[in-house]
A and B are shown apart, each in its own frame.
Chain A
């Protein structure tokens, strides 16, 4: 695992998520796409480290949600996905899209639940926001896997028979 490339990638995606995408009301969660990628294509310990790191980056730009909920939810579900990948290989695009969708919904709900525990109000349209974000992420996510794999020098073997 090339950690310097990983750090640069996470930083770039974080700035993109907070800057260019911030003004769109409905947008994919690129950090979550990164989470699923590393959970699928790295070994378990690397997946755990990368999941929590990406969650920390999401917390940094997650204002007004306080820090902590996204690190916990990304780390938890990223780890679970990494263990699941050991049993069920998630290599094909439809399965990757499904993994992104389910992970996004679960992390979104857990994030808002943990934020509620710390005193943040739960907005009325939380389900719509989480669903729309998950949908956009699952549509866009699988197509981003190849450029991420190229940058990280990871072989995806997607088209190998």
Chain B
């Protein structure tokens, strides 16, 4: 009888609306945020010693991404000016707001890639808004919990993530980048071979992103197994998500 009652409870939880059960999970994280943050800080300290000497520092990575974004933004604006024959008077981020948020422990265990953020104001946050970390796109908002000032971010490497991207060097071509778990993403069936190290940019999306922004770099390029004339590209995120302490959510045309 005991087993039956507990199993019934489990089934009720299983088929209950995920909005409701997610609140329980976040409430636990919220209540125990202090011991959880201590544990994650200790783990970060332990991992810091293992960083390779030739790996770029976080500020260097930030500057590289910033430069790549500026170049892409500049190129886009030049083409717009030439096409329309008008004075360039639109700064790309005009009318855009940013919401800063702190990062609560990342779940990057191979199964799913996401993180929970704590923001003082959730007003203006909606699903699918892009999230910036170290001047690059790291993911999109997947859930918002205004009662506890938290939101969930699905990283670009999450298996459920699909983002429209373009690859540096392949002008005019758009692809879908899908998360592959394990801190990687894939772009399949690319027409041309791509050099390792090339930047991958998230494409502009009306209402969410005004200009392409770097989202990752090509780490591997091999032929598609089913269609050998095409190429499959593996993309690594442009920043180390596990090192992030804060992020910024891009809100285009915020309502004042």
Contacts and interface: CB of A to CB of B under 8 A. Distances in A.
Contacts, number: 139
Nearest to B159: A121
Nearest to B6: A52
Interface string A109-138: 000101001101101111011000000000
Contact of A67 (B6, B16, B43, B110): B16
Contacts of A49: 2, 6
B23 to A, nearest CB: 10
Interface string B67-85: 0000000000000000000
A99 to B, nearest CB: 19
Interface residues of A, number: 45
Interface string B19-30: 001101110110
Nearest to A27: B109
Given A23-B105, A67-B16, A60 B110 contact: no
Contacts of B42: 20
A23 B22 contact: no
Interface of B: 2-3, 6-7, 9-16, 18, 21-22, 24-26, 28-29, 32, 35-40, 42-44, 47, 105-112, 114, 116, 152, 159-160, 180-182, 242
Interface of A: 15-16, 18-25, 27, 45, 48-49, 52, 55-56, 59-69, 71-72, 75-76, 79, 112, 114, 117-118, 120-121, 123-126, 128-129
